[in-house]
A and B are shown apart, each in its own frame.
Chain A
Amino acid sequence: MTKSVSKSIKTPKEVEREFDILRVLLGMTIALCIAFLIILLISKDPLGALKSFVIGPLSTLRRMGNVVEAMTPLLFTGVAVCFIFSANQTNMAVEGGFLLGALGATIGATVFHLPPVIHPLVCLLLGGLFGAFACYVPALLYVKFNSKPVVSSLMMNYICMYIALGIINHVIRDPGAGFPASYTFDETAQLARVLKGTHVHAGIFVGLVVVLVGYLYLYRSRKGYEIRMVGKNVNFAAYSGMPVNKVLMNSQLIGGFLAGMGGAVEVLGMYTRFQYQGLTGHGFDGILVGIIAGYNPAIVPLAALFLGYIRVGADVMSRMNDIPIELVSIIQSIIIVLVVAERFLYKQKHRKLVEVAHKELAREEVAANE
């Protein structure tokens, strides 16, 4: 009897989770509403702009493909951010790691000549290792020298950018390309297209595997538990005997590896040569994806889909109407601040928690009287 009653009353933990989800959804809604408002105020053809923004991505197969293409790299950087931020490390070198990963894959795809299936695998591995290096440096500086990763990782991003551009421009630049770009990748290294009429490539499957493995590792394994525990309470983790420094390094190396793999998948799937001219922003997008997903890899695909969708929508709108694509940055920033603002909806959450506690008390009293 009591068991069934206790099930009908929510535990405080459930209430907290409910409000976390509510805050994310409300944050996204508010951000989109503000975006609509901006469109209405600025555009000469607000209804047309809104239409291309909201249903533009669904209008043709090609654009639906664009959404999937846009979300593919975000799966990698999103899961990477889940690993790093779960350990409570604000290492933003995923941004540089992505670019270095692209560089690693480029080296693998232009210098080595291997048989089909093995070639992209080697490239992904190389990209991952390059990406891990990007996140390794700030992590090491923190563990060894106690220098917080915020500034060092931001510096690392610029260093990664110059490493990548330097190697592309001076070592593997194709003089015949007509613009700064690497030699073309071997056909064997390029990822296969999986949907006719779009650029959707096999990377999406690799990404989904990464999501699955990332979730199992972070939420269903002992090592993952250590990462999350160190992130929640580093003192508790240290006193219960967890090797804190090792766990910190581990989480950031995995994060960097995944970010690098994302860069590798992106260049091998979408392009035939390395042609970035600077940082790509995929790492910072990954941070947004991670925040929306609550640092849980299982929710990363949804968050990446959302971001991919509004990005393609804004792209369609910027080409059909007079609203620039940078509207997405404004949406992104509003979502981030609303999701991370602990006090946002705090009163409502508090009231709900009190209500639950009262119910629980009343139930206990009844049980005691009986």
Chain B
Amino acid sequence: MNNNILSAIFSAEFAYSVIRVTTPLLFCALAALVCNRGGVLNIAFEGCMLTAAFCGVVGSAYSQNLFVGLLAGLAGGIGIMMLMGYFNLILNANVVLTGIALNTFASGGTVFALYILCNDKGLSTSLQSLAFPNVNIPLIQDVPVLGKILSGHNVLTYVSVLCVFLVYLLIFKTPLGLRIRAVGENPSAASSVGINVTRTKFTTLFIGGLIASLGGVYMSMGYLTWFGRDMVAGRGFIGIAAQNLGNAAPMATFIAALFFGFANALSNVLQTQNIPSEAVQAIPYVATLIGLVAYSSSTRKKKTGIKQLKRRVPDGL
């Protein structure tokens, strides 16, 4: 049995599936990264992705056009983030509680709309929705093992990897990124040099919503080809954890997301073995807890090294 597991893990299929399940986590982690840098980290990504997944399916089913579906998905997800911004930035509502509210709204609202549209509370299979195609990469697909692992993924998977670099460029190499970081690190200082803090935070939320929505669209138009009730299943939260673990740096976040993807894929593989599936399905969440501890204790050492400050600094979520 152990040999079975090992051979299952050290196979090209497994590496392929790691990348496949990492994609939504990576999108969400990058979105959380941008938001964390801009000082607007929140937990509404779950609802954002769910809404995007739903709107994407509905948009593509009614227009029979992939691009319209994508746009609808993005609009839905960004809409949730804009609501987050409105309540948090304009009405000064607590960010966590607003996040809970928006997640509840997305979870209930999508099922509500699903029932109205296709008279089904679980799946959208009665809608003729479209999906993004898988693409083979010309040269790499011919390389023996590597081709099997890296080629033939959904087009959005490649977009997600591209996003790592785009986010890096955006945050560290553009004027907008500088503004985002300035507002995130010290809003008063940023405001004193003439940066419109509220507008910058809205921009940050917009970008975050855009990236997270891509993850949501991937869930229902790539990973699966339909929308299912609560299909995001905590990925929005794991994405935040990955970003925490990666200390809001693009490459490190990418690696952290891969780690959670690995745990996820591992649980998928082990489920086929003779191990209680519940123990295995809990792996990504336990890994997240351990990751949070590792991250937090590493930052604590740094802080106490400089000065024995017993203040509780809000450090992400």
**Contact flags B284-301 to A (C-beta < 8 A → 1, else 0):** 011011001101110110
**Contact flags B113-144 to A (C-beta < 8 A → 1, else 0):** 00110000100000000000000000000000
A156 to B107, CA, bound (A): 20
A137 to B107, CA, bound (A): 26
B289 and A152 within 8 A (CB): yes
A284 to B104, CA, bound (A): 9
**Contact flags B206-246 to A (C-beta < 8 A → 1, else 0):** 00000000000000000000000000001001101100100
Residues of A within 8 A of B97 (CB): 90, 287, 291, 336-337, 340
Say whether, besides A154-B234, A324-B115, A326-B109, A147 and B310 are in contact (CB < 8 Å).
Answer: no
Residues of chain A whose beta carbon lies under 8 Å from any beta carbon of chain B? 42, 90, 92, 137, 141, 145-148, 150-152, 154-156, 158-159, 162-163, 165-166, 169-170, 234-235, 238, 284, 287, 291, 324, 326-330, 332-334, 336-337, 340-344, 346
B116 and A165 within 8 A (CB): no
Stretch at the interface among B160-168, B195-203, B251-259, B273-281: B273-281
Please count how many residues in chain B sit with their CB below 8 Å of the partner chain's CB atoms: 52
Say whether, besides A137-B289, A151-B288, A287 and B112 are in contact (CB < 8 Å).
Answer: no
Provide the main secondary structure of the chain A interface: helix
- Which residue from A155, A159, A170 sits with its C-beta under 8 Å from B237? A155
- Which residue from B91, B96, B105, B289 sits with its C-beta under 8 Å from A329? B105
In the complex, 5 of the A-B residue pairs with CB atoms within 8 angstroms, ordered by the A residue number, are: A147-B296, A156-B285, A334-B101, A337-B91, A343-B90
- The reply to whether the CB of B35 lies closer than 8 angstroms to some CB of chain A is no
7 pairs of A and B residues whose beta carbons are closest in the complex: A329-B108, A166-B278, A333-B105, A341-B91, A336-B101, A147-B296, A162-B282
- The reply to whether the CB of B65 lies closer than 8 angstroms to some CB of chain A is no
A62: shortest Cβ distance to chain B, in Å? 24
- The reply to whether the CB of B87 lies closer than 8 angstroms to some CB of chain A is yes
B112: shortest Cβ distance to chain A, in Å? 4
A146 to B315, CA, bound (A): 8
A319: shortest Cβ distance to chain B, in Å? 13
Of all chain B residues, the one with the shortest Cβ separation from A331 is B108
Say whether, besides A158-B282, A337-B98, A344 and B108 are in contact (CB < 8 Å).
Answer: no
- The reply to whether the CB of B43 lies closer than 8 angstroms to some CB of chain A is yes
B285 and A337 within 8 A (CB): no
A92 to B297, CA, bound (A): 22
Q: Which of B54-103 contact A (CB under 8 A)?
A: 87, 90-94, 96-98, 100-102
A147: shortest Cβ distance to chain B, in Å? 4
